[in-house]
């Protein structure tokens, strides 16, 4: 089986396609870095859409999502964006955890696994 890497850098790839699945690394905001969790969530979900499309998939095929919030009190703000975005009838298995992120300006990080 082949392995295809998308957005490969020296430490990680943004996505890896293998065996009928695409594995996305945790995605964080860049344009809205430092903004609130809702704005960052919307940007991250857009980034995920682009990576899934490049891998030959889409949000209706997401199997699992892991969401990291440095402040769990922003859970509802993140969910307000997630609920507008997630594919109705195709909601993935999901976990949301409170965790310190790589930089204080990041308010949300999302990693997904999807079928291709």
Q: Which domains, and CATH codes, for the chain?
A: 3-115 (3.30.1330.40)
Look at the pTM and tell me if it is higher than 0.95: yes
Q: How far apart are CA 88 and CA 34, in angstroms?
A: 30
pLDDT per residue as tens digits for the range 76-95: 999 999 999 999 999 999 99
- Token pair listed for 72: 């769990």
Across the range 46-58, mean pLDDT stands at: 98
Strands across the sheet with 13-18, in order? 3-8, 13-18, 21-24, 109-115, 62-69, 93-98
- Give the per-residue pLDDT at 54: 98
Q: How far apart are CA 28 and CA 111, in angstroms?
A: 9
- Token pair listed for 103: 């930089």
Banded model confidence at residue 1, pLDDT cuts 50, 70, 90:
confident
Residue of 103, 35, 40 whose CA lies nearest to 67: 40
């Amino acid at each position: 089986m082949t392995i295809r890497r998308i957005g490969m850098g020296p430490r990680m790839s943004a996505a890896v396609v293998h065996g009928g699945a695409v594995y996305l690394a945790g995605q964080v905001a860049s344009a809205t870095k430092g903004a609130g969790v809702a704005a960052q969530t919307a940007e991250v979900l857009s980034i995920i859409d682009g990576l899934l499309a490049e891998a030959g998939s889409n949000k209706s095929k997401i199997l699992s999502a892991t969401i990291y919030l440095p402040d769990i009190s922003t859970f509802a703000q993140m969910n307000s964006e997630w609920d507008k975005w997630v594919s109705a009838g195709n909601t993935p298995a999901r976990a949301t955890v409170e965790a310190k992120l790589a930089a204080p300006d990041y308010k949300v990080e999302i990693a997904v696994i999807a079928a291709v």
